Amino acid sequence: MVIIENIYKSYSDFSISALNFKAKKGEFLSILGPSGSGKTTILNIISGQEKKFSGTVTIQDNTVEEAIEQGQISMVFQDSLLLPHLTVFENIVFGLRLKKIKKNEIETKGMKILTLLGLEDLRERFPNQLSGGQKQRVGIGRALIMEPLLLLMDEPFSALDGELREKMQNLIKKLQKTLKITIIFITHDKDEAFFLSDQIIIMEKGQIIRKGTPIEIYSQPLSFNVASFLGMENIISLNKFSILFPQHPKNSSTFIKEQIKENTFFIIPSERIEITSSINTNIENIVYSKGILKECIFKLGYYFIKVNISGLLITIKQNRLPFSLTLEEEVFLQYNFNDLVFIS
């Protein structure tokens, strides 16, 4: 439905090159990346605001210009700049009034959007009488009333905090499923992208460094840059492999040599490690290493534990402790060899 092919775009000190991706009809696609990675630049290209670039953008078989002409694209920004002299209702239906649509149809469509966004009671308020979250809902309503095929959102919730932000995320996810629109959503918040998206594109310095479903990206980050951007724990150089697994049969030089041809690091997912006080060596694929307990902190439902294994500090995330832990005492870490993730 949206096809981005071979996009090149450069500013004096920044460039996007050979960018390719697709968003299917009805898909929620997030573009995730640090500040300055080129997210807004891409969105501006798709929305037609940026015209100087090479490559092609196709929206349901149309060029960007054709898609705009047919009203197929709507946008929501970080700050919804509402018209200050118009009420909530009038702000929402503004685009319909410009299209000279019949009054009763405007009333029906406007009310439907107000209800959908829970704004009925605020219908006659002016923008300066609204909270940030309410303004943002009006901004979304104004975009949705045009019944776009494609909704582009540039960090729409980044000015909102905590609970409100979560509410808005739930709302947009629900709306997208009900209305079956395609959304391209920009964020630099990983949790937001993982919660909302069917597909995620991770950008770094104008390049796509990973694309896939949230599960694919988490279970196979493929590169050090992706894993560290996602804040994964226990990214360890392959050179240290034998320090961690001195007894394991896979700790043979041939296995390591094979891995080193393609990879540089491995990850032990912190939630897949178990902390034990003894070893049961009869289970296939289960690996142990011995270390000293250095830290054990409880945070919102999880224990974050750090264990020093011959100078390597390994982080473990557990929702319960199997036995009472004492700092500076010896413990064993147990992992399934198949849970290890190798990355380049």
Q: Of ligand ATP, Mg ion, none, which one does residue 182 interact with (CB within 5 to 8 Å by kind)?
A: none
Quickly tell me which residue has 């250095």 as its tokens: 294
DSSP type of residue 338: G
Which amino acid is residue 110, in one-letter code? G
The answer to whether residues 233 and 270 touch, using CB atoms and an 8 Å cutoff, is yes
Binding of Mg ion by 40 (CB under 5 A): yes
Our CB check for ligand ATP shows the closer of 58 and 207 to be 207
> In angstroms, what is the minimal distance from the CB of 39 to ligand ATP?
4
Binding of Mg ion by 136 (CB under 5 A): no
Q: Of Mg ion, ligand ATP, none, which one does residue 127 interact with (CB within 5 to 8 Å by kind)?
A: none
Of the ranges 35-43, 49-57, 63-71, 336-344, which one interacts with Mg ion (CB under 5 A)? 35-43
Q: 301: alpha, beta or left, given left = phi > 0 and alpha = psi -120 to 50? A: left
Our CB check for ligand ATP shows the closer of 134 and 169 to be 169
Residue 19 DSSP SS3? strand
Q: Of ligand ATP, Mg ion, none, which one does residue 254 interact with (CB within 5 to 8 Å by kind)?
A: none
Length of the chain: 344
- Residue of 343, 335, 189 lying closest to 265 (CA atoms): 343
Our CB check for ligand ATP shows the closer of 38 and 291 to be 38
Q: Of ligand ATP, Mg ion, none, which one does residue 136 interact with (CB within 5 to 8 Å by kind)?
A: none
Our CB check for Mg ion shows the closer of 40 and 74 to be 40
Q: Of ligand ATP, Mg ion, none, which one does residue 14 interact with (CB within 5 to 8 Å by kind)?
A: ligand ATP
> In angstroms, what is the minimal distance from the CB of 190 to ligand ATP?
13
Strands of the chain (E only): list them: 2-11, 14-23, 28-32, 54-59, 73-76, 150-154, 182-187, 199-204, 207-212, 235-237, 265-267, 274-276, 286-299, 302-309, 312-318, 330-336, 341-343
Residues in touch with ligand ATP (CB under 6 A) = 11-12, 14, 33, 35-41, 188
Our CB check for ligand ATP shows the closer of 201 and 314 to be 201
Binding of Mg ion by 41 (CB under 5 A): no
Our CB check for ligand ATP shows the closer of 32 and 140 to be 32
Count of beta carbons in the 10 Å neighbourhood of residue 129: 11
Q: Tell me which H or E stretch contains 253.
A: helix 253-262
Binding of Mg ion by 182 (CB under 5 A): no
